[in-house]
Amino acid sequence: MSVLRIAYCGWLLGLALAQPAANTPPPDFSPQVFEIARELRCPVCQGESVAESNAGISLEMRRIIAEQLAQGKSEEEIKAYFVSRYGPWILYEPPRSGLTLWVWLAPLVGVGFIGAGLYFYLQSARRRSLEAGTAEVSEEELRRAEAELDQP
C-alpha cells in the first residue's frame, strides 16, 4: 500500500469523523420532554410532532422544553411559551374556546343535523307509504281478494 493510499484513507476517515452528529435527540432528555413535545406540531414538517421530527427546529424546541423543565416551569407554561411564539396552531389539540370551539363542535352539530334530517325523511316516507297503501286498493280488489280467501 502506498503512502498516497494511506493518506487518502486517513483523509476519508477524518471527513467521516468530522461530520456533525445525526439529528437524534440526546439521550439525556427526560421522558417528560417527549411527552410535551408530542403535543406540539413541528413548524417545518408535515404531520409530525416535535417529538417525532428530526428537523433542526424540533431538536431546538426539545432543548428549550428541557431547559424550561429544568427551570421548574409547568407543562402549561411551556406550551404557552410556544403558543406565544408560533400561535395556537402549534398545539396538536387546540384550546376549546373562541373560534376553535366551533371546530370541536362542528362534528356534533353535523351528526345532529344528519340525524334530524334522517328522522324527518323516514317520517315523511312512512306517512306517504301509509297514504299510498290505503289509496291503491280499490273496493273491487278487496272484494275479489276476500272471495279468493273464502274459497276452499
Query: Alpha carbon 147 to chain centroid distance?
Result: 67
Predicted pLDDT of residue 123: 95
CATH topology of domain 21-90: Helicase, Ruva Protein; domain 3 (1.10.8)
Grid cell at residue 52: 417525532
- Cβ atoms 75, 65 nearer than 8 A: no
Predicted pLDDT of residue 117: 97
Predicted pLDDT of residue 136: 67
**pTM of structure:** 0.51
Predicted pLDDT of residue 88: 85
